[in-house]
Amino acid sequence: MSTASESADWWATAITRMAPGVVELRGIPVQELIGSVDFVSMIWLMVRGELPGECQAALLEAALVASVDHGPQAPSIAIARMTATCGVGLNNAMASGVNALGDAHGGAGQQCVEVLTEIVSSTDAGTDLTAAVAHVTSRHRYVPGFGHRFHPVDPRRDPLLTLVDRAVDDGVVTGRYLRAARAVETFLNEGRSRPVPMNIDGATAVIYAELGFAPELARGLFVLSRTVGILAHAWEETTQGMRNKGPIPRSILPTFRGESRRLPG
């Protein structure tokens, strides 16, 4: 093989084909997509390689809408806002927000898809659902996708699950991961006074798993959705014009070895 083709092959991709005057995405000329395909279907096309059905796209759309933001107390949002005050581009502020969506902040959806997949595999192999749930959840101190330190009930749970229920009724998805997730919820709440309900990560994990996305893509799609909130917050912060925003007001100075002090204005 020549070095030219070797170099080109090193960067070969099944996603994009470029030639002068030509941009094809997953084999479809871009001009056929613009104005014809909605943004959510475009997302699906890019990561999966083919266009979704309308009902599949609707379910993905609900998951993407539900996850856009959870306020500036979330590290990713606070970080994007702070970075936006430091004299960098809006893209740099967004990048640092996205960079914080790691295993402990943006990874619960991915982990929950893994948990649900393991339960479904186990029941497919003949294990009883309750036993599979007990076995799989026993390995987690906190089962990802369940419980919330702030919301007693996550307001995003019910509307998402209602849509999945409807998609099951319509034969769009099988409902196997939904069943597994509900069984986990029941199991975790048995005999508890304080409930541990399914949270946004759990409810969207159900959708991603039902739609056949790989666990890592549950993270990737959550990141994409949260990028909307990150953009909105970075932009709001930018319009306020503060420079070098620290985490707390300047009048409160964090101090060394616990001697808190309040500075004069």
Rounded distance between C-alpha atoms, residue 209 and residue 115, angstroms: 10
Pairing of strands 28-29, 22-25: antiparallel
Buried b / exposed e along 176-193 (16+ C-beta atoms within 10 A): bbbbbbbbbbebbeeeee
Which residues in 93-122 contact its own copies (CB under 8 A)? Answer: 94-96, 98-107
Q: Which is nearer to its own copies, 192 or 257 (CB)?
A: 257
Nearest approach in angstroms of CB 57 to its own copies is 10
Q: What is the dihedral of CA 159, 162, 166, 171, to 10 degrees?
A: 100
Q: Can you list the pairs that 50-55 forms with residues at least 24 positions away whose Cβ atoms lie under 8 Å? A: 50/26, 52/211, 53/172, 55/167, 55/170, 55/172
Rounded distance between C-alpha atoms, residue 248 and residue 77, angstroms: 15
Interaction between residue 173 and its own copies (CB under 8 A): no
Q: Which is nearer to its own copies, 133 or 229 (CB)?
A: 229
User: Using CB under 8 A, which of 5, 121, 174, 186 touches its own copies?
Assistant: 5
Q: Which is nearer to its own copies, 31 or 121 (CB)?
A: 31
What sign does the CA torsion over 254, 256, 261, 265 have? negative
**Coil, strand or helix: which one is 252?**
strand
x-marked contacts with its own copies along 198-217 as a string, rule CB under 8 A:
------------------xx
Nearest approach in angstroms of CB 196 to its own copies is 15
- Total chain residues near its own copies (CB under 8 A): 126
Nearest approach in angstroms of CB 186 to its own copies is 21
Which residues in 64-83 contact its own copies (CB under 8 A)? Answer: 64-66, 68-76, 78-79, 82-83
Which residues in 234-253 contact its own copies (CB under 8 A)? Answer: 234-236, 238, 243-253
Nearest approach in angstroms of CB 129 to its own copies is 27
Q: What is the dihedral of CA 102, 108, 113, 115, to 10 degrees?
A: 120
Nearest approach in angstroms of CB 41 to its own copies is 9
Q: Which is nearer to its own copies, 139 or 257 (CB)?
A: 257
